[in-house]
Amino acid sequence: MNNNFAELTAIADFLKVLAHPVRLCIVKGLIEKGECNVSHMQACLDTPQSTISQHLQKLRTAGIIIGVRNGLEINYKVCDPRVIALLDIFFHNDQK
């Protein structure tokens, strides 16, 4: 059991990044919309730009999202397929 402790720690750290309501909302919105910039997220979440930027940094560091520059703005999108599959279970899975 201890031989895969490093892997379990990495997965737990990954889940901790998602385990925040604002970050979960950002990721869910990015999956639904495809990509988005900070200004749009700020308007949707009614949250200060600095707060959104901090959450985006955590998501980028975890490899969950990437930012693609388009002129002066950066559009963010989810780049980790595990996140898409995980949120699909929580938000779209039909309970039978």
Q: Give pLDDT, residue 91.
A: 87
Nearest to 28 by CA among 78, 74, 79, 96: 78
What average pLDDT score do residues 68-93 get?
Answer: 92
Cα dist from 22 to 3, 70, 86, whole Å: 34, 24, 17
The structure tokens 């200004």 sit at 39
pLDDT on residue 95: 52
Residue 41 structural domain: 2-92
With a cut of 60, say whether residue 42 has pLDDT above it.
Answer: yes
pLDDT (mean) for 13-38: 94
pTM score, whole prediction: 0.86
Q: What is the CATH number of the domain that holds 40?
A: 1.10.10.10
Packing angle, helices 49-61 and 38-45, rounded to 10: 120
Residue whose entry in the numeric block shows the structure tokens 């388009």:
70
Q: How many domains does the chain have?
A: 1
